[in-house]
Homo-oligomer: A and B are copies of this chain.
Amino acid sequence: MASTMEKHQKEENCSKNQSPEADCVQPVKCPVVIDDVPLNGPTLNVHAAEGFINQAMAIIMEDAVKKATDVREKVCEWCPPEQLKELLDLELRDRGEAESQILQRCRDAIRYSVKTTHPRFFNQLYAGMEPYSMVASFVIEALKPSLYTYEVAPVFTLMEEAVLRKMMEMIGWEEGGDGIFNAGGSMSNMYAVNLARYHHCPDIKELGLSAAPRLVMFTSQECHYSISKAAALLGIGTKNVYVVPSDKRGKMIPSALEELIKAAKSEGALPFMVNATAGTTVLGAFDPIEEIADICEKHDLWLHVDACWGGAALMSKKHKHLLKGIHRANSVAWNPHKMLMACLQCSAFLVRDKTNLLQRCHSAQASYLFQQDKFYDVSYDTGDKSVQCSRKPDAFKFWLMWKALGASELEQRVDRALAMARYLAQEIKKREGFRLLMEPEYANICFWYIPPSLRNLPDSPELWKKLHTVAPVVKERMMKRGSMMVGYQPHGDKANFFRMIIISPQASSQDMDFVLDEIHNLGKDL
């Protein structure tokens, strides 16, 4: 290999007298060439890309910020997959394209994307544009930090710590705890299952489950599907997730939980954790945490609260009662990217433990990253708490918006969203052809739309069968018109119904009225 190098290096004895500081971007007299590649001077000059970046930023501002959030514009420009593929010219080729073409590609990508920041996007558990958080995310994308070590991400390491501390304070863990931001609530729930398991059986980390007893966990039938995914991934098995019945409002029934725990024990299985949900995905229900905590204490089970969606209520003096008892949880998942509108993704996993359980459970002590002979306090190198290696500093997106808005404004937003949900529920009850599943407790409003042709039918399986087909058609028409986005789903034995999610202060009571009018307009002929 050395001889190849010498052959290619044409002027290796040429004296190097350029100052590396001053001359490195200028042409040099003494070319360095290896393997036919000239190596003097950079071949990518960011300065030269400034014009492109500025033009692209102007397009983003115009199309992806202003137009995307303008209530007079469409929420989506529907295009079926095959047609969109052609429009976008997706193929990746050998030759690059002109910058003007790339700018057009940005415009097209924005045009045909769903505007999740539009005031009439009610389809998911996140919505809206948060300017401060968005700016924070731009800073992150430009700087490309990764959160394993203090050395590489000093600012964001400290911000993560500060945000986690504040979130723990809101939960009521007065003595603090530990935590980590990660790539979504599903991962937070997965962390919870792993930590609970490690807490009960630390040997499993090394020895695996094949020699372990059958571990069993408990969650309600209304929980997020990530609990089941975590059980599958972690080798616990989905059948070892015992599903606790919920009441009519979607809340876990504590007595049913206790019965299941006893049943599992009598089968010789080892119960190790309970997942309580604070804000279920479909109904927005809150499991009774206090009563569940009592049962967990009695049976020595780890209590995890999936508050990804409902955690925001902790910001509100008026609504935090929904999570009463959450301070008794061993761990909590809470996504500020949902109700609190931090830029996607912003998901915290919090642990009450103060014995470094998170790190002990996940550490692999990579010597190339977590050297112990560094010149600073390596307890700031938080990467070994994570199952990821590169990890984005998502906490900054929440930190900056909190600094800008203060807890008081965050509280007002939560209060307003929940008041808006009540307003919508009330309007639904007033209008003919709309039927509420239940009074909302949080920001999910679930309802059926009954077209005039079905309104006089008796409440029978036939009616529900017909009703089941209404929401999908209304949804199709809604998407094709692009006027708004509202989700629908079947749920248990319930026929397809709409689920409105209210989050953003960009939406108003007029938008709620519009949603009901529009559903009627789209579906009245069905």
Q: Are A204 and B237 in contact (CB under 8 A)?
A: yes
Give the shortest distance, in Å, between A449 (CB) and chain B (any CB): 16
Residue A263 is within 8 A (CB to CB) of chain B in the complex? no
Q: Which residues of B contact A391 (CB under 8 A)?
A: 183-184
Q: Are B34 and A150 in contact (CB under 8 A)?
A: no
Q: Chain A, 142-155, contact with B by CB distance < 8 Å: what is the 0/1 string?
A: 11111000111111
Q: Which of A104-112, A252-260, A457-465 contacts B (4 or more CB under 8 A)?
A: A104-112
Tell me, in angstroms, the Cα distance from A187 to B145 when the chains sit together: 18
Tell me, in angstroms, the Cα distance from A234 to B472 when the chains sit together: 38
Q: Which residues of B contact A399 (CB under 8 A)?
A: 90, 92
* Chain A residues touching B, range: 35 or more
Q: Which residues of B contact A206 (CB under 8 A)?
A: 232, 237-239
Whether A158 touches B102, Cβ cut-off 8 Å, given contacts A143-B64, A205-B232, is: no
Q: Chain A, 195-211, contact with B by CB distance < 8 Å: what is the 0/1 string?
A: 00100000011111111
Whether A364 touches B228, Cβ cut-off 8 Å, given contacts A112-B154, A238-B205, A419-B37, is: yes
Give the shortest distance, in Å, between A435 (CB) and chain B (any CB): 15
Give the shortest distance, in Å, between A421 (CB) and chain B (any CB): 9
Q: Which residues of B contact A456 (CB under 8 A)?
A: none
Q: Which residues of B contact A41 (CB under 8 A)?
A: 508, 510
Further pairs besides A39-B509, A54-B61, A129-B144: 16, Cβ < 8 Å: A21-B71, A34-B422, A35-B415, A37-B419, A56-B138, A79-B154, A105-B403, A116-B143, A123-B152, A184-B389, A186-B389, A187-B387, A210-B210, A230-B387, A233-B362, A234-B234
Residue A452 is within 8 A (CB to CB) of chain B in the complex? no
Q: Are A46 and B368 in contact (CB under 8 A)?
A: no
Whether A68 touches B239, Cβ cut-off 8 Å, given contacts A35-B415, A368-B281, A420-B34, is: no
Q: Are B420 and A155 in contact (CB under 8 A)?
A: no
Q: How many copies does the complex hold?
A: 2
Q: Are B240 and A143 in contact (CB under 8 A)?
A: no
Tell me, in angstroms, the Cα distance from A96 to B163 when the chains sit together: 15
Q: Which of A1-9, A271-279, A321-329, A349-357 contacts B (4 or more CB under 8 A)?
A: A1-9
Give the shortest distance, in Å, between A109 (CB) and chain B (any CB): 5
Q: Which residues of B contact A158 (CB under 8 A)?
A: 81, 84-85, 88, 90
Q: Are B416 and A43 in contact (CB under 8 A)?
A: yes
Tell me, in angstroms, the Cα distance from A250 to B183 when the chains sit together: 32
Q: Chain A, 385-399, contact with B by CB distance < 8 Å: what is the 0/1 string?
A: 001111110001001
Q: Are B113 and A145 in contact (CB under 8 A)?
A: yes
Task: Name the CB-closest residue of B to A517.
Answer: B20
Q: Are B489 and A368 in contact (CB under 8 A)?
A: yes
Please list the 10 inter-chain residue pairs (A to B) with the smallest Cβ-Cβ separation, ordered nearest first: A208-B237, A235-B235, A96-B406, A183-B183, A209-B209, A90-B162, A49-B131, A64-B142, A44-B505, A20-B514
Selected from B81, B281, B420, B505, the residue in CB contact (under 8 A) with A150 is B81
**Could you show 8 A-B contacts with beta carbons less than 8 Å apart?**
A25-B71, A39-B416, A42-B508, A43-B413, A115-B143, A117-B142, A371-B472, A375-B476
Tell me, in angstroms, the Cα distance from A439 to B1 when the chains sit together: 8
Residue A525 is within 8 A (CB to CB) of chain B in the complex? no
Selected from B16, B69, B94, B124, the residue in CB contact (under 8 A) with A513 is B16
Tell me, in angstroms, the Cα distance from A205 to B151 when the chains sit together: 40
Q: Are A91 and B416 in contact (CB under 8 A)?
A: no
Of the candidates A143, A236, A240, A499, the one having the most CB atoms from chain B within 10 angstroms of its own CB is: A143
Whether A186 touches B138, Cβ cut-off 8 Å, given contacts A66-B46, A66-B47, A79-B154, is: no
Q: Are B214 and A88 in contact (CB under 8 A)?
A: no
Residue A93 is within 8 A (CB to CB) of chain B in the complex? yes
Within 8 A of B (CB), among A472-526: 472-473, 475-476, 479, 485, 487-491, 496, 499, 504-514, 517
Q: Are A40 and B134 in contact (CB under 8 A)?
A: no
Task: Name the CB-closest residue of B to A213.
Answer: B210
Task: Name the CB-closest residue of B to A515.
Answer: B20
Task: Name the CB-closest residue of B to A12.
Answer: B426
Q: Which residues of B contact A472 (CB under 8 A)?
A: 371, 373-375
Residue A400 is within 8 A (CB to CB) of chain B in the complex? yes
Q: Are B508 and A39 in contact (CB under 8 A)?
A: yes
Q: Are B345 and A404 in contact (CB under 8 A)?
A: no
